[in-house]
Chains A and B, each alone.
Chain A
């Protein structure tokens, strides 16, 4: 149990376009979902926390107008990178949990912006 999926697993896009990444909890209801960013050989950096039905809370330094997060249901959250640029290229990982239970992570999405 406790499976989190992400789609797509990798995406390549042109500079200036927008990209949407989906995160789904497959076998449990996720009251809270988190979005992380990870650069090569570095730790996970929390970008934002989202609770179902409410606005996401962004970490300091994360542009909320650039990284749009929607948590419309208890099993789905989306991250949209708007007007992507090469510096947005990274590994994006979501995680999900039911109330204060364990966080379960998705497999990640590799974004490359050309």
Chain B
């Protein structure tokens, strides 16, 4: 019940395309859903996060869509650029004071070609 399933495992899009990465969770107690971007040899960096009281959130070219009834959320990258080539991880957690911790998806390797 603590798993977060992420798909696809890898994705190749052309510059300007809109890659979509999907995640699904089981634990309905999760109430915080962040996306992280990781470049090779670096630590993950927070991109955008959403809570279940909203269905969509946009920050720049990144959009999260959230479907509470389906227990799914997805990341859309608008006008993708070669510099967006990285591994993306979704995650989920629930606030339980200092015990709260992130459960990560398996990651999606995105390649944006020219």
Contacts and interface: CB of A to CB of B under 8 A. Distances in A.
Interface of A: 4, 6, 31-32, 34, 41-44, 46, 49, 51, 91, 93, 95, 99-100, 102-108, 110
Interface residues of B, number: 22
B98 A51 contact: yes
Contacts of B100: 100
Interface in B48-104: 49, 89, 95, 97-102, 104
Contacts of A102: 34, 46, 49
Chain A at the B interface: mostly helix, strand, loop or mixed?
A: strand
Contacts of A100: 95, 97-98, 100
A41 B9 CA distance: 10
Nearest to A6: B43
Nearest to B89: A43
Contact of B89 (A44, A51, A95): A44
Contact of B101 (A6, A46, A99): A46
Contact of B98 (A4, A31, A106): A31
B104 A44 contact: yes
B35 to A, nearest CB: 12
A44 B36 CA distance: 11
Given A31-B98, A102-B34, A43 B43 contact: no
B12 interface: no
Contacts of A42: 106-107
Nearest to A57: B99
Contact of A32 (B46, B89, B98): B98
7 contacts: A34-B102, A41-B107, A44-B89, A46-B101, A100-B97, A105-B36, A108-B42
A3 B42 CA distance: 14
Contacts of B104: 43-44
Contacts of B41: 91, 108, 110
A103 to B, nearest CB: 6
Contacts of B49: 102
B89 A104 contact: no
A4 B43 CA distance: 10
